[in-house]
Amino acid sequence: MKKIIILLFILIHILLISCMQKNGKSIERNDVVIENEQFKLVIGSDAITKSLILKSTNEECLMHGEKIAIFSVTQERPYHNEIKLGHPNKKKTFQADTIYREGNKLIVGFEWIPYKAVFLVKETPAYIGFSLEDFITEGIYPSYLKITPPPATEVCLLQLPVRNRENFGEWLNVSWDNKAAINVLGTDEYAYIDFEKRHGYNILRASAIKDIKFKGTGAALIVSETNKLLDNIAQIEEDFNLPKGVESRRSDLINASYYWTTNINPGNVDLHIKYTLMGGFRAMSIYYPAFEGFGSYDLIGNYEIDKKLYPNGKEDLRKMLDKIKAAGITPGVHLLHSHIGRRSKYVTPVPDYRLNLVRTFNLSENLGSSDSILFVEQNPDGSTMADGCRVLKVGTELISYKNYTTTRPYMFTGCVRGIDNTIINSLPKGHSIGILDVSEFGATSVYIDQRTSLQDEIAEKIVNIYDAGFQFFYFDGSEGVNPPFGINVALAQYKVFKRLNPQPLFAEGAAKTHFSWHMLSGGNAFDVFSPEVLKEETRKWPAEEAPRMRQDFTRINFGWLGYWVPSETTIGTQPDMLEYVTSVAAAWDCPISIHANLRAFEIHPRTPDNMEVVRRWEEVRAKHWLTEDQKKRLQNLEQEHHLLLDEEGRPELVPYEQITDVAGSSKEVRAFIFQRKGEYYVVYWHISDNKKLLLPVKLSDITLYKTLGQEESIITDSNDNTIIPVSDRRYIKINNLTKEEILNIFATAKIIN
């Protein structure tokens, strides 16, 4: 009897284990269970994901009822003979339909197609990794079928139907709220990471692309409490030797604004340092023409230091950077890493074979050295017609075309031979030619074919510049790569980034894809907007992106900000404009950047005031002075704010609004009203001059300050009207008057010399 009881107990225990209930989903004997200390993933034997549980809360993270296989394979057409006969010959994705585990390997079969895939599983406390190891194809295809199996263009490494949460970061590919985060991310630069939006959930997906890399390509799954997400990503970065994106985001310099210059050199570095410190900038970004020479935009790729400005070459550059650092400023470099200038040695006199071509053709007739028409076999329909971009790479020369035909005989017409000082040649019928991938931004550069060694060669040159002493990096022109963009944008960046030693303190870039997250810890900057539209464009672009990038645990740069001197055509850069941009940026823990213009700085009368605005906000950023409540208020884009210094010199944040009608709607004076301690104040200045403002108010009703606590004298005219100076930024406190009365005083004020 005792033996029977023991056997029954064992049997019941086995049944409980093989049929446990977890949130209504049973774990059956043939299910695959993959788990770590933080989460458990259950996959049915049919390869359908059944459950994804965050252990600390016992919460289910998947959308149930959606029968989505965890793996799949995509073919351009069926290759197995019977499948080819039985189905249309078109691109098709085959879902996994069987799965079992052998140690750290998952053996996966797919619907219809006969071969299997082998995935490696790596279970760690921080994440679970998946990578494609191999395919099982032996004996599947007949010997007469001369293909290299498996015929596939894409293999899905992982796909999960993850329920929507409050936030979704499309760059990092993470769904999260204040409790939990679910993240599918690449563990190398070759994984293609994407998501598909569905009703109530997103399918988070990682894939390997045949034309990029199949075997060894990997992705990781993180399911954790949200406050542990970045620690888990940091562990992945450590384990897979990735750029330290988490570490960079935690740096004190990540919210630092920078001073951007394109004309700094040893002769004027002291003046640039002066203005950098005046604005309180903690960093300085140096655009490559500063050391390659003015007008070197179409020479990018040579990376040769201008000996006129730097007689001792790199050593002079190093000394200049040392001087910048000695002033407490962190120097960075701004480069077009994937661009090749059209006057560089890679283009002229013979264009390099590693430049990217967007389309290729075969000559259908011999090409003579004086021919102005190129006959081709393929239809040119859809080829670029943009000015400056109509360029054919034909042997040793570049040829521009005026137009083309879209019926046979196909031809490019109106051709100009040997442009960009390239060598004119003759080529036989059948020779391959192509349309050069010319940058759409000014057509002064062309793009690299990322499948070749050219980006690596350029990266070595960049490293030779960077190690002169630069400490952060801007990857400009990052969109300038060939497809697939979702991989090649980051891959081109990484070919440079991985060579930089030490790793940049932070980096920004003009374009980003998933793997870029580990490098572009500062996200991106925006292009320059004119003073007249600056506030509107700030609301439209950076203020729209910043909260989205917060969902990717990343900040952006609300610059670049231009610097304009007031003239007949523009009001010029004014303190309230800079204050608006930098205050909204601070609302999202983001910095700004400003395009330096020494001449404009010197002649703009309000430069000290403009720089003081930036300096105050930079000090606030550096000290993390803003509270979460203040940041919330600053996120109201319709309410402008002013950071003043109180009577003790301490920062004080106040909402203010522009007095739009000053002295009969004059544009010369800008004034803003605010209230503090129960009294009204006005901060005001002249946009470009030194004049006086006559106010119809008693002398006893106002107090004038250069800064609060430091009164200035005021005079009156014969009618007891008050006359105040209007030049630099000043404050007036107005006693015993309503807001409406103050607005009327300024509306009826007069500007006098």
User: Could you confirm whether domain 656-752 is CATH 3.40.1580?
Assistant: no
Per-residue pLDDT tens digits for 27-76: 788 999 999 999 999 999 999 999 999 999 999 999 988 899 999 999 99
Q: What is the 3-state secondary structure (H, E, C) of 636-685?
A: CCCCEEEEEECCCCCEEEEEEEECCCCCCCCCCEEEEEEEECCEEEEEEE
Token match 């057409």: residue? 77
Peptide bond just before 349 cis, omega within 30 deg: yes
Mean pLDDT of 339-345: 97
CATH 3.20.20.70, the chain: domain bounds = 255-340+449-518
Label residue 26 by pLDDT band (50, 70, 90).
low
Mean pLDDT of 441-452: 96
The yes-or-no verdict on residue 9 having pLDDT over 50 is no
> What is the residue-averaged pLDDT of the chain?
94
Residue 295: the pLDDT is 78
Backbone region of residue 657 per phi and psi (left: phi > 0; alpha: psi in -120 to 50; beta: other values): beta
CB atoms within 10 A of CB 408: 10
Instruction: Write phi, then psi, for 83 (nearest 5 degrees).
Output: -65, -40
Residue 149: the pLDDT is 80
CATH 2.60.40, the chain: domain bounds = 656-752
Token match 């000559």: residue? 363
The yes-or-no verdict on residue 142 having pLDDT over 60 is yes
CB atoms within 10 A of CB 538: 23
Label residue 624 by pLDDT band (50, 70, 90).
very high
Mean pLDDT of 633-641: 98
Residue 370: Cβ-neighbour burial (10 angstroms; 0-12, 13-18, 19+):
exposed
Please check whether residue 376 is in contact with residue 364, taking contact to mean a CB–CB distance below 8 angstroms: yes
Please check whether residue 594 is in contact with residue 260, taking contact to mean a CB–CB distance below 8 angstroms: yes
Instruction: Write phi, then psi, for 158 (nearest 5 degrees).
Output: -175, 130
Mean pLDDT of 172-182: 98
Residue 529: the pLDDT is 96
Residue 4: the pLDDT is 53
Measured CA to CA in angstroms, residue 531 lies from 85, 226, 403, 428, 727 at distances of 65, 40, 40, 56, 19
* CA nearest neighbour of 495 among 524, 517, 516: 516
| Residue of higher predicted confidence among 6 and 236 | 236
Rounded to whole angstroms, how far apart are CA atoms 414 and 427?
18
Q: What is the pTM of this model?
A: 0.93
Backbone region of residue 332 per phi and psi (left: phi > 0; alpha: psi in -120 to 50; beta: other values): beta
Rounded to whole angstroms, how far apart are CA atoms 699 and 720?
7
Per-residue pLDDT tens digits for 575-617: 999 999 999 999 999 999 999 999 999 999 999 999 999 999 9
Label residue 411 by pLDDT band (50, 70, 90).
very high
The CATH code belonging to domain 255-340+449-518 is 3.20.20.70
Q: What is the dihedral of CA 596, 602, 606, 608, to 10 degrees?
A: 80
Label residue 78 by pLDDT band (50, 70, 90).
confident
CB atoms within 10 A of CB 697: 24
Rounded to whole angstroms, how far apart are CA atoms 55 and 78?
42
* CA nearest neighbour of 93 among 215, 173, 205: 205
Q: What is the dihedral of CA 204, 205, 206, 210, to 10 degrees?
A: -160
Cβ density class 287-315: b for 16+ within 10 Å, e for less: bbbbbbbeebbbbbbbbbbbeebbeeeee
Mean pLDDT of 491-515: 97
